[in-house]
Chain A
């Protein structure tokens, strides 16, 4: 029995757990099985989509009723140059595994999102960003080469200097330009596995923008905001800054930690419990922490609770992330926070960050200069969707856009406004690859 055959799976879920359904799944474990797996999962005349660790929140990682290629069995390193800090590895290798491999050798991910449980392929397909966007730009800027399989061309290599148009379409291309088979990544030199961290409470948005401006010499910055605070507390939060410590042990993180075993009841996260959490979080001593901490809790606090998405109960949750340009950012973020506070919908995680002006390499990369706000809301049906629609309009008026990796409901017209290059991606799309997200936003109705 080879890993290239396909079977039906009714239980494929997006991370937000609102979107779910049946797929024909093939799970190759050898690079030579990829093509057969792709064709078997697509079926006759059908389409398929590569899937990594399933951390996309909405429907961009799903292909409901169609095929999926589970890439997590292709998780091997191909070459690691320890002197130059260049890693070439299968697209199914997780950032978790990359860190275990690289940290002991004195290297780190050049850019990392807020979870290490994503694959290299997923990081490319969504051109992910991290707390160092203002100095390092998005993930794709550090990719030197990609191996891609296309149903119409077979194996193709691309990079900033090889088939650059295909490369630009693939970075942030939502997995539609071909199946990423391997990624060659330029790593970041570190002298210690520890981070030097400085956390500060801030009272309001003005302080957030001031702290951001003052933090040019901190490579990592991010802020948490209390979205339930109103009146004079509106926009209060905790501003966190970090840098890799200069010298110290190069010990990688350890596995494990508790898991949420089953769905929590849907009412667990409401405005009162979240409000209480926020007050505690704001006042706890860690919110003014200064000192050293390991990289794992600094970058990946949520990874310590596996299956945390089950906390939102059986109906799941919506994640929302938008970015607004510098000229409109202050006003727009103020309005966004005001709308959220007044809606009474509680966002457990609210993250605010200033992006830098490094150009993103992808045609459809999400990051751009400005301020980004990420939120998630328990799925309470129409009320939640109405609020998200409100937030969309604020972003549209401010000339911003939304992050497809987090989305499962944005109107097609709104997506196209934010990403005018969408048609170029459609032109370069592999005819055998499609996602539920792309079907929704690209097909005229």
Chain B
């Protein structure tokens, strides 16, 4: 199919990435799924193939590790026979208390959620600049909008990623290259399995995937999902410090 896209999914076993890839599989796209667990990758690949993807490839890789990232990235592009879209979706929520007690865990989280993600985004940007077209989508978080006592280790990494993506979007403004920074709020996924759920603030990964798809179609630089997090974070960012300091968030 002429419209079939070549898509690289980094962190393809994450719930949001998987739901988004399902939307793309139904459109006859070609996908390369990258993740750590080959058994899970195979399960996702079979599903996407059954849903109508033109082709589904997999690659086992620890994406938080950036050793020879440029070569690895080039190999992915070669396997796909080119590149139209990249989704950077891996990450780890981590636990704030653990990050405070154990600097190795802190560093690992920063590497997974920011440092490595920035590297993959830059590699994708370089490729798209050369090709003169492409779409880079990365999952950041509303947690990056303001540092809060309950999860600033994670939030700081996501803040870094959000800023990086904002910079990339600025760099490519007015060109055919699209950069989308996705900022989900609470999403019911295995990453949040330990958090009590329910209530209107929680979204499903399917809803988030559809918001991502709409964001890409409209070439939005920033996508809050669900949309009302834009308003919530606008308020939280602008809370005067005396009030903010009294909040247990």
- A interacts with B: yes
Contact of B193 among A3, A31, A89 (CB under 8 A): A3
B218 within 8 A of A: no
Residue of A nearest to B47 (CB): A76
Please tell me if the beta carbons of A29 and B190 are within 8 angstroms of each other in the complex: yes
Cβ-based interface call for A101 (8 A): yes
Task: Collect the chain B residues with CB atoms within 8 Å of residue A32's CB.
Answer: 39-40
Output the least CB separation between A386 and chain B (Å): 37
User: Which chain B residue lies CB-closest to A87?
Assistant: B50
Chain A residue nearest to B46 in the complex (CB)? A78
* Contact of A29 with B50 in the complex, beta carbons under 8 Å: no
User: B50 to nearest A CB, angstroms?
Assistant: 3
- Quick check: B43 and A79 within 8 Å, CB to CB? no
Whether the Cβ atoms of B43 and A5 lie closer than 8 Å is no
**Is the pair A30, B46 in contact by a Cβ cutoff of 8 Å?**
no
How far does the alpha carbon of A2 sit from the alpha carbon of B44 in the complex, in Å?
A: 17
B190 touches A1 (CB 8 A): yes
| Distance from A212 Cβ to chain B, minimum over Cβ atoms (Å) | 38
Q: Provide the A178-221 mask, 1 if CB < 8 A to any CB of B, else 0.
A: 00000000000000000000000000000000000000000000
Q: For A101, what are the chain B residues with a Cβ–Cβ distance below 8 Å?
A: 50-52
Binary flags per residue of B50-69, CB closer than 8 Å to A gives 1, else 0: 11100000000000000000
Cβ–Cβ contact B47 & A78, under 8 A: yes
Instruction: Determine if A91 is an interface residue (Cβ-Cβ < 8 Å).
Output: no
- B37 nearest in chain A by CB position: A30
Inter-chain CA distance A132–B40, complex, in Å, is 38
Cα of A32 to Cα of B37 in the assembled complex, Å: 12
Q: Is A1 a contact of B43 with CB atoms below 8 Å? A: no
Range class of the A interface residue count: 20 to 34
CA distance A3 to B193 in the complex (A): 7
Q: Say if the beta carbon of A368 comes within 8 Å of chain B.
A: no
Verify if A281 is at the interface (C-beta below 8 Å from B): no
Q: Which residue of B lies closest to A77 (CB)?
A: B50
Set of chain A residues within 8 Å of B193, measured between Cβ atoms = 1-3, 5, 27
Q: Is B190 a contact partner of A31 (Cβ separation < 8 A)?
A: no
Please tell me if the beta carbons of B50 and A79 are within 8 angstroms of each other in the complex: yes
Does chain A have a CB within 8 A of B15? yes
B194: interface (CB < 8 Å): yes
Instruction: Report yes or no: B43 in contact with A3, Cβ–Cβ below 8 A.
Output: no
A8 to chain B, nearest CB (A): 11
Asked if B191 CB lies within 8 Å of chain A CBs, one says yes
Q: Which of B15, B46, B191 has the most CB of A within 10 A?
A: B46
Q: Tell me the smallest distance from the CB of A246 to a CB of chain B, in Å.
A: 24
- Does A80 touch B at the CB level, under 8 Å? yes
List residues of B (169-208) whose CB comes within 8 Å of A's CBs. 190-191, 193-194
Find residues 13-54 in chain B having any chain A CB closer than 8 Å to their own CB. 15, 26, 39-40, 43-44, 46-47, 50-52
A87 and B46 CA atoms in complex are apart in Å by: 12
CB of B125, distance to nearest CB on chain A (Å):
32
Inter-chain contact B46/A1, CB cutoff 8 Å: no
Tell whether A77 pairs with B43 under 8 Å between CB atoms, given A1-B193, A2-B190, A3-B193. Answer: no
Tell me which residues across on chain A come within 8 A of B43, comparing CB atoms.
Answer: 30-31, 76
Q: Is the interface of A mostly helix, strand, loop or mixed?
A: mixed
The answer to whether B50 and A78 touch across the interface, beta carbons within 8 angstroms, is: yes
Residues of A within 8 A of B51 (CB): 77, 80, 101
Complex Cα spacing A104 to B51, Å: 10
Name the contact of B190 in the complex, choosing from A3, A76, A79, A89 (C-beta under 8 A).
Answer: A3
Please determine whether A79 and B46 come into contact, CB atoms closer than 8 angstroms: yes
Judging by beta carbons under 8 Å apart, are A29 and B44 in contact? no
Bound complex: CA A128 to CA B183 (Å): 42
Q: Which residues of A contact B194 (CB under 8 A)?
A: 1
- Residues of B within 8 Å of A89, CB to CB, are 50
Known: A30-B40, A30-B43, A31-B43. A80 touches B190 (CB 8 A): no
Asked whether, in the complex, the Cβ of B46 is within 8 Å of the Cβ of A77, the reply is yes
Nearest residue, chain A, Cβ from B189:
A29
Bound together, the chains give a CA A1 to CA B40 distance in angstroms of 16
CB of A29 to closest CB in B, whole Å:
5
By a CB distance below 8 angstroms, the chain A residues around B40 are 30, 32
Q: Kindly identify, within residues 1 to 42 of chain A, every residue whose CB is under 8 Å from any CB belonging to chain B.
A: 1-3, 5, 27, 29-32
A3 — which chain B residues lie within 8 A by C-beta? 190, 193
CB atoms of A76 and B15 under 8 A apart: no
**B93 to A, closest residue via Cβ:** A1
Q: Which of A39-98 contact B (CB under 8 A)?
A: 73, 76-80, 87, 89
B residues less than 8 Å from A105 (CB atoms) = 52
Distance in angstroms between the alpha carbons of A297 and B191 in the assembled complex: 37
Q: Which residues of B contact A87 (CB under 8 A)?
A: 50
With A and B bound together, what is the CA distance between A29 and B193 in angstroms?
Answer: 11
A73 to B193, CA, bound (A): 12
- For residue A30, which residues in chain B have a CB less than 8 angstroms away from its CB? 39-40, 43
Residues of B within 8 A of A2 (CB): 190, 193
Which residues does chain A contribute within 8 Å of B47, judged by CB atoms? 76-78
> In the complex, what distance in Å separates the CA atom of A105 from the CA atom of B52?
9
Quote the shortest CB–CB distance from B44 to chain A (angstroms). 7
Chain A CB within 10 Å — which of B26, B190, B194 has the most?
B190
Chain B residues within 8 Å of A100, by CB: 26
CA distance A368 to B51 in the complex (A): 35
With A and B bound together, what is the CA distance between A73 and B194 in angstroms? Answer: 16
Q: Which of B39, B50, B191 contacts A1 (CB 8 A)?
A: B191
Query: Whole-angstrom distance between the alpha carbons of A30 and B43 in the complex?
Result: 8
C-alpha spacing A31/B42, complex, angstroms: 11
- Chain B nearest CB, measured from A250 CB (Å): 13
| Chain B contacts for A104, CB-based, 8 A | 26, 52
- State the Cβ distance, A126 to closest chain B Cβ, in Å: 25
A29 to B15, CA, bound (A): 9
- Give the distance to chain B from A402, nearest Cβ to Cβ, in Å: 34
A89 to B49, CA, bound (A): 12
With A1-B193, A31-B43, A77-B51 given, name 15 new contacts (CB 8 A).
A1-B191, A3-B193, A30-B40, A30-B43, A76-B44, A77-B47, A78-B50, A79-B46, A80-B50, A80-B51, A87-B50, A100-B26, A101-B52, A104-B52, A105-B52
8 sample A-B contacts, Cβ–Cβ < 8 Å, listed by A number: A2-B193, A3-B190, A30-B43, A32-B39, A76-B46, A77-B47, A89-B50, A101-B51
Closest A-B pairs by Cβ, 7 of them = A77-B50, A76-B47, A80-B50, A1-B193, A1-B194, A77-B47, A3-B190
